[in-house]
Structure 1
Amino acid sequence: MSINLDVLNRRFENEAVESLLACFLESHKGRIALASSFGAEDQVLTDMILNIDPLGKIFTLDTGRLPEETYALMDQTNRKYGIKVDVYCPDRTALEAMYQAQGINGFRDSIENRKTCCHVRKLEPLRRALSELEVWITGLRRSQSPTRETMRLIEWDEGNGLIKLNPLIEWDEERVWDYIKTNKVPYNVLHTQGYPSIGCEPCTRAIREGEELRAGRWWWENPEHKECGLHLKREKQ
């Protein structure tokens, strides 16, 4: 890795998110993209990126088990901004093999099975999406969960061999929604029904009062396991 992360983080720590994005969108033009799951944070970044560069690249992972509300928002977003978000799907052969091995809902039987499901539906498609990029933009925020508390504004993803940019890492929930309301950004209607974090339909539930924001994701597991693997630090294979 030829970049100095400490220098970059110091340089941009007090910059506006839009300034950070503008700099990276220009310096890595054509080799930078936002990975969107159509959550509130990703919608904020979609709006910012397309205001800076109407040709900015945005992609999503269609796991095949997303809520209908997420697909509706995908369509609404495409129409509002006059774009077509790039869609990456699971490999058919891997998906069929997984069904043969664990059944349709085998992900609930063990953490190992659930991680296999996440690998097939998310990690492998993400690997393909990132393979030609230099910078991966995410909507991660430090306050979302215990597994994200040590993440930085600019990181190096060793497993995928690229820069990982977390522009909203310091934002809180209120700031996200202030931006959405002020700028009339479309959002998933499930957010109004107690779903602050939305993933695959069978792995997501509304949270209860007092629960942390990602408590509704894989709620049958302990908090330290509640990542699909997309944002866990791992060595390059």
Structure 2
Amino acid sequence: MALAVTCSISISSSSSSSSTFQSSQPKFSQIASIRVSEIPHGGGVNASQRRSFVKPPQRSRDSIAPLAATIVASDVAETEQDNYQQLAVDLENASPLQIMDAALEKFGIHIAIAFSGAEDVALIEYARLTGRPFRVFSLDTGRLNPETYRFFDEVEKHYGIHIEYMFPYAVEVQGLVRSKGLLSFYEDGHQECCRVRKVRPLRRALKGLRAWITGQRKDQSPGTRSEVPVVQVDPVFEGVDGGVGSLVKWNPVANVKGHDIWSFLRTMNVPVNSLHSKGYISIGCEPCTRAVLPGQHEREGRWWWEDAKAKECGLHKGNVKQDAEAELNGNGVANTNGTATVADIFNTQNVVSLSRTGIENLTKLENRKEPWLVVLYAPWCPYCQAMEESYVDLADRLAESGVKVGKFRADGEQKEFAKRELGLGSFPTIMFFPKHSSRPIKYPSENRDVDSLMAFVNALR
């Protein structure tokens, strides 16, 4: 039978909007060359990969799926159980448009785009290009930048859609603020605040869906997102049916580089958050977001007072690997028989690798033959990786200047020593050891381009 319902789904365009969707509507033109229904499925499917679509949706009281209560079991078509790991392999080389089209075709009104107010406006543009109805939701934590709220309004008007906003429970926010204050996360980490303002609202939102679409990219956070697949069974959250495997997570731009996303946005002339023009790349809540400087990784603008391993708010907690058989050294790097599984960095003949004994001797010398510049680093840290090119370039420039350039790996067993004796705060920390002084001078800026580093050296040598 034909099913007519009214909701906030829009057939998006810049000039028109429709909030009525009928199941008997004609099929939109073929966009993607890959269709989920045409992809062969693998033989064995384990319980964590299975989905059943025969249950009627269970609407939660503040779900973002207001139309779910009007659909009965007889109106929900049965589909075969899917092996999403195989689907991820089949779509690995597909374009974002193809992946988006496959997601919207398969889940229809039961899938929604998670929009943060940053560059994932690209997801909305891809959805528009498929010609299919789509839904957008966002989490309003109550602490977003004014520019982000204005951006939300601009996006709604540009695409003729209504973003479905989710808010934290007032009683939970009040409890946190009254007991710990407005800025407790600067002292004990952002996880608790994010859990109240973001994770729990998201959990409620997803309980009304069967799938969601995110703007995760592999190059956003090398420490946590480098292996994000284009589609997966959500490892953390549950969908409308409840239980493990009840929610599917689509990441259409997982394989797209950040600069390619921006090329796409400029080409399509879509709205962008004005904060981007001020140096903000990754945008979240105002107290926990800042602009990044030259030489910094984009994720360094988020929760900058914490280690790189904590750069997830909980919305994508499944990205953080927790291998029971791997011993973590406290810095987010897994060790096997004491050997780190990541390759070393700053590898050039002009950068001297200092051992524990070497750095101790350097700190004890009161009259050095030449000054030293040393970076305290961890090779797994994305922010150390981001400054590798500028530091190596600096070492090359200083090769004949009489200034020695070195590196000291300060993670693992050396971390406590580095904190106690070298003033390590976070990675990377850059220290200058003057020629006639035993006391090192810490580089105070987070601007890590080669010119800024060179200015620091020239001012002290």
The TM tier, using the shorter chain, reads over 0.9
Letter in 2 for 1:152: P
Q: 2:76 aligned with 1:28, yes or no?
A: no
- The alpha carbon displacement at 1:31 in A equals 0.7
Corresponding residue to 1:144 among 197, 220, 225: 220
Residue 27 of structure 1, CA deviation: 1.3
| Residue number in structure 1 paired with 2:32 | none
Query: Cα deviations across residues 162-203 of structure 1 (Å, max 9, x unaligned)?
Result: 111111011111110111011001111111111110100010
- Which stretches in structure 2 are left out of the alignment for 5+ residues? 1-48, 51-81, 239-246, 320-461
1:14 matched to 2:93? The reply is yes
Give, in whole Å, the separation in 2 of the partners of 1:29 and 1:55.
7
Which gives a bigger RCO, structure 1 or 2 (Cα 8 Å, sep 6+)? 1
Q: Which residue of 1 aligns with 2:401?
A: none
Q: Residue 63 of structure 1 corresponds to which residue in structure 2?
A: 141
1:38 is the counterpart of 2:117: yes
Partner of 2:335: none
CA distance in 1, matches of 2:136, 2:271: 16
CA offset at residue 105 of structure 1? 1.2
2:212 match: secondary structure: strand
> Does 2:156 correspond to 1:78?
yes
Letter paired with 2:262: W
Deviation at 1:150, TM superposition (A): 1.9
Per-residue deviation at 1:158? 2.8
Name 2:205's counterpart in structure 1. 129
How far has the Cα of 1:52 moved from its partner?
2.3
TM-score (norm 2): 0.49
Q: Which runs of 5+ in 1 are unaligned?
A: none
Q: How many corresponding residue pairs?
A: 231
Distance 2:273 2:237 in 1: 29
Query: Does the alignment pair 1:104 with 2:182?
Result: yes
Is structure 2 residue 245 aligned with structure 1 residue 160? no
* Alignment-mate amino acid for residue 111 of structure 2: I
* Alpha-carbon distance between aligned partners in 2 of 1:81 and 1:190, rounded to the nearest angstrom: 20
Measure, in 2, the Cα distance between the counterparts of 1:158 and 1:181.
34
Structure 1 residues 24 and 213: CA distance shift in structure 2, 3 A: same
Q: Which amino acid aligns with 2:113?
A: L
Counterparts of residues 83-98 of structure 1 (less than 5 Å):
83-98=161-176
Percent identity, aligned pairs only, is: 38
**Residue type at the aligned position of 1:125:** P
SS in 2 for 1:227: coil
When normalised by structure 1's length, the TM-score is 0.94
Shift of 1:5: 2.6
SS where residue 317 of structure 2 aligns?
A: coil
Query: 2:270 matched to which residue of 1?
Result: 185
SS for the counterpart of 1:30 is helix
RMSD value, Cα: 1.3
More helix by share: 1
